[in-house]
Copies of this chain bind each other. A is one copy, B any other.
């Protein structure tokens, strides 16, 4: 069954009032927000990826969804496969590093054996507290679209790895994403809509606009790039298109009134308006949208 059909069937099941129609990054549950993601070897990560980095991504990407809700991290549950000793030891070292580094306690979980040769499947369920929990659907016509940090670093890091090259900052952005928890805490009470950029700035902005029943226009020249990104790929229109479609940024994307400086460092990259769809401009001119706006997968 394809994902759209599967999701439609799931949405027809009896839903919890906090499920938000299975259309948001997290569910609300009393004083908590809850989000869960599964990583599959050969789909979301490669067999050759350092196991410690797999552990980091598993936790950090879930905490990024909590950041988008403005939550304080309560902890995680982990569903993990038993594997070979070397992989498991390195993975658990990475788990210790990410839980300590992101101040995230372990709440519970499950360990299972897999049949010989089966790809590893790992699940993290993250729980946050005290979350204003802005939806991704609350943008208003006239809002500015902001993004924290810089865009494209992880994508540039992945491209370097695929070419057998290296750049410490860009590869770290890909392998050890930093969820924007502190930024989420101060932004969430003030924004109209917020989500994390996991699949790419363009596709995620388009999703926020669609969820909000609005159109969004993005100025490609305004997309914030890091010095490391510009050194690796330049700051041309093509480089900017790459950055905006690359994904794995785990920055926060939010809609807020345009006349107010956000309480966390962020760059205005676009504007919401009545209508529908995504428009892209460069130096004031409309651009044809690329065929691929970002990654498409998963019930997010």
CA distance A95 to B32 in the complex (A): 25
Min Cβ gap A113→B in Å is 6
Q: Is A123 an interface residue (CB 8 A)?
A: yes
| List of B residues within 8 angstroms of A17 by Cβ | 105
A111 at the interface (CB under 8 A from B): yes
5 residue pairs, one from A and one from B, having the closest CB atoms: A1-B88, A16-B105, A121-B121, A27-B108, A16-B75
Do B6 and A108 touch (CB < 8 A)? no
Give the A interface residue count (CB, 8 A). 73
Asked if A118 is at the interface (CB within 8 A of a chain B CB), the reply is: yes
- The reply on A84 being an interface residue by CB < 8 A is yes
Q: Which of A107-128 contact B (CB under 8 A)?
A: 107-115, 118-119, 121, 123, 125, 127
Q: How far is the CA of A88 from the CA of B4 in the complex (A)?
A: 13
Determine whether the beta carbon of B107 is less than 8 Å from that of A13: no
**Contact present for A125 and B77 (CB under 8 Å):** yes
Q: With an 8 A cutoff between CB atoms, is A79 at the interface?
A: yes
With contacts A16-B74, A118-B119 taken as known, whether A108 is within 8 angstroms of B26 at the C-beta atoms is yes
| Closest chain B CB from A83 CB (angstroms) | 7
Q: Within 8 Å of chain B (Cβ to Cβ): is A42?
A: yes
Set of chain B residues within 8 Å of A18, measured between Cβ atoms = 107
Q: Does A265 contact B (CB under 8 A)?
A: no
List the number of copies, as a whole number.
Answer: 2
- The answer to whether A114 and B119 touch across the interface, beta carbons within 8 angstroms, is yes
Q: Which of A1-59 contact B (CB under 8 A)?
A: 1-3, 6-7, 9-10, 12-19, 22, 26-27, 29-32, 34-44
- Contact (Cβ within 8 A) B112 A36: no
Could you tell me if B35 and A32 are in contact, using CB atoms closer than 8 angstroms?
no
Closest residue on chain B to residue A24 by CB atoms:
B108
> A30's closest neighbor in chain B, by CB?
B31
B34 touching A107, Cβ below 8 Å: yes
A77 touching B119 in the complex, CB below 8 Å, given contacts A6-B88, A96-B13, A106-B22: no
* Beta-carbon nearest neighbor of A35 in chain B: B108
Residues of chain B within 8 A of A85, CB atoms compared: 1
Closest CB in chain B relative to A97 CB, distance in Å: 10
A34 cross-chain contacts in B, Cβ below 8 A? 77, 107-108, 127
Q: Which positions 64-96 of chain A face chain B at CB distance < 8 Å?
A: 74-75, 77-80, 82-85, 88-89, 92, 95-96
A299 CB within 8 Å of chain B: yes
